[in-house]
Amino acid sequence: MNTENQLLGIWRQLPQTKQQEVLDFAQFLVERRTARPSSTQPTAQPLPLGERLQAIRDQIVASGMPLLTHEDIEREMCDRRGGYQE
């Protein structure tokens, strides 16, 4: 039995509401596949938030202040959430 027949057999066993969910999911998969940029399409422009964050990072680097490491960030998040525990 091929995949199409397997899918059709399962489809027929589902109630109508579940069949609609399957259709919605299949449509989502098709749209997601066609929405992905190919190598010939231009890359997406940065979002305004990303541009602002990059500008803040550039200011920190220009000031000579060292950037936080992953561990520093994790420690700060834990401190703000009630204490750091190793």
pLDDT tens across 29-68, in order? 888 877 666 555 566 676 788 888 888 888 988 999 888 8
Residue 41 domain-assigned?
no
Write down the pLDDT at residue 63.
Answer: 92
Residues spanned by the domain of 60: 48-80
Instruction: Return the pLDDT at 39.
Output: 56
Domains contained in the chain, number: 2
Q: How confident is the model at residue 27 (pLDDT cuts 50, 70, 90)?
A: confident
Is position 11 within any domain?
Answer: yes
Burial 4-38 (b: 16+ CB within 10 A, else e): eeeeeeeeeeeeeeeeeeeeeeeeeeeeeeeeeee
Per-residue confidence (pLDDT) for residue 85, from 0 to 100 = 62
Are 7 and 29 part of one and the same domain?
Answer: yes
pTM summary value:
0.39
Within-domain flag for 40: no
